[in-house]
Amino acid sequence: MYSVEPKDLTVAQAHQYLLGGVSPRPIAFVSTISQDGINNLSPFSFFNAFGANPPVIAFSPAISGRTGKTKDTFENIKSSGECVVHAVTHSMIEQINLASCEYDSNIDEFVKAGFTTLDSHLVKPKRVKESPFQMECKLMQIVELGGKAGSGNLVICEVVKYHISEDILVDGKIDPNLLDLCARNGGEYYTRASGNAIFEIKKPGLIKGIGFDGLPLFIKESHILSANNLAQLALRDELPQLNNFENEIKNLTVIEANDYVFERFERANDYKSMLNCALNFKNQNNINSKYYFEKTAKIALNNNNSDFAWMCLLIINN
Ligand SMILES: Cc1cc2nc3c(=O)[nH]c(=O)nc-3n(C[C@H](O)[C@H](O)[C@H](O)COP(=O)(O)O)c2cc1C
C-alpha cells in the first residue's frame, strides 16, 4: 500500500487523492448575489448536510490553487449572508459544468449557463427553476481552513426554506430514481445516482446485531460467503437455531439434480429450488454438499432473505 503524508505532496496531488478517495460527492449548485446585484451560480462538491434541527448544510468555495484568489460565491455570501443551494440532476449536468467557468464577477451566470430565475421567498439570491430541490439558506458561520492557495473555506448555512417539486415525491418522500442526482468523483468523473447505482439496505433500527464474533466458525470460514454476506447474517438479535425453521423445513422437497440444474436455478436467483437440489446432494452424501448450501445461502442473501440463508447454513451440520 502506498502511504504518504500530505506535506510530502504538491497541493495538486493532495487535492487529487482527496477528490478520488472521497467520492462520489453530492454537488451544491449555489446561487448568490453580489453587492452590485449581479446573480452568481457555481457548483461545489465539497458539500454535505450536517444536522436536521436546525437543518444545516455546508460547502467549501476554496481559494484557487492556481490564482490564489477567492471565489465570487465566497465573497458574495460573506457580504450578503444568503444563498440558495440546489440539487444537481442529470438533466442539468452539462449546464452546471458551464456555470463553473471562471466568469468575471460582473457576469450573470444564470444567463451564461442558460438557467431560469425564480424569486426566493426569504432570501435575495434567485432560485434555479430547473432544479427540482432548492434550499433557501442563511449563513451561520464561515470557517477559513488555511488561508493559502488551495485552502478551503467552510461555509455553514441554515436552511430556512425548502422547495421540492411534486414530480420527485412518492408518498411524500423523495424518490431517488425520479430525482436522478449527479455526484462528483475524482478527475473528470461523475456518478449518476439512479437505476442500478441505487440499492436498499435495511437499517438496523433497534437491533443490536450479534456481530462477526457471534457467528459460528463454520460460517465465518466459508469461502463462498463474502464479508458483506457475513455482515447480513450478523445483523440479528440472536443466533438462530434450526428448530426456528421447523415449519419451512417440513415444506421442503428434494429435487434430483446435477450441477447443471443447480447452476440454472442459481442464474434465475431461484434459491428455494437451489435448496431442494442441495438437499438431494446431501442425501447422496456428496462430499461437496456444504458448497451447495453456502451457494444457496449466498443467493438468498443477495435477495435480502437472511432467514432463508440461516436455514440453509444450519442444515449443513444437521
Ligand atoms: C462539479 C463541480 C464541483 C466543484 N466543486 C468545487 C468545490 O467544492 N470547491 C471549489 O472551490 N470549486 C469547486 N468547483 C469549481 C467552481 O465551481 C469554480 O471555481 C467556479 O467558477 C467558482 O465560481 P465563482 O467564482 O463564481 O464562485 C467545482 C466545479 C465543478 C464543475
Please report, for the chain, the start and end positions of each structural domain, with discontinuous segments joined by +.
6-197, 212-316
Pocket test for ligand 1, best of 36, 38, 42 (most atoms within 8 A of CB): 42
Count CB atoms within 10 A of the CB of residue 11.
Answer: 13
What pTM was computed for the model?
0.92
Does the Cβ of 184 fall within 6 Å of ligand 1? yes
Give me the phi and psi of 109, to 5 degrees please.
-80, -15
Pocket test for ligand 1, best of 31, 100, 185 (most atoms within 8 A of CB): 100
Nearest-CA residue for ligand 1 atom 31 is 97
Q: Is the pLDDT of residue 286 over 90?
A: no
Place of cell 428434494: 254
Residue 126 sits at the vertex; the CA angle it makes with 43 and 137, to the nearest 5 degrees, is 70
**How far apart (Å, rounded) are the C-alpha atoms in residues 17 and 21?**
6
Handedness of CA 234, 236, 239, 241 (dihedral sign): negative
Does the Cβ of 302 fall within 6 Å of ligand 1? no
CATH fold, domain 6-197, is Pnp Oxidase; Chain A (2.30.110)
Q: Is the pLDDT of residue 167 over 90?
A: yes
Nearest-CA residue for ligand 1 atom 18 is 100
Average pLDDT over residues 100-106: 95
Reported as a single tens digit per residue, the pLDDT across 41-88 is 999 999 999 999 999 999 999 999 999 999 999 999 999 999 999 999
Q: Is the pLDDT of residue 318 over 90?
A: no
**How far apart (Å, rounded) are the C-alpha atoms in residues 151 and 144?**
8
Instruction: Report which ligand 1 atom has the smallest distance to the Cα of 76.
Output: 27
**How far apart (Å, rounded) are the C-alpha atoms in residues 158 and 58?**
9
Peptide bond into 54 cis (omega under 30): yes
So what's the pLDDT on residue 257? 86
So what's the pLDDT on residue 161? 98
Peptide bond into 24 cis (omega under 30): yes
Pocket test for ligand 1, best of 39, 45, 48, 89 (most atoms within 8 A of CB): 45
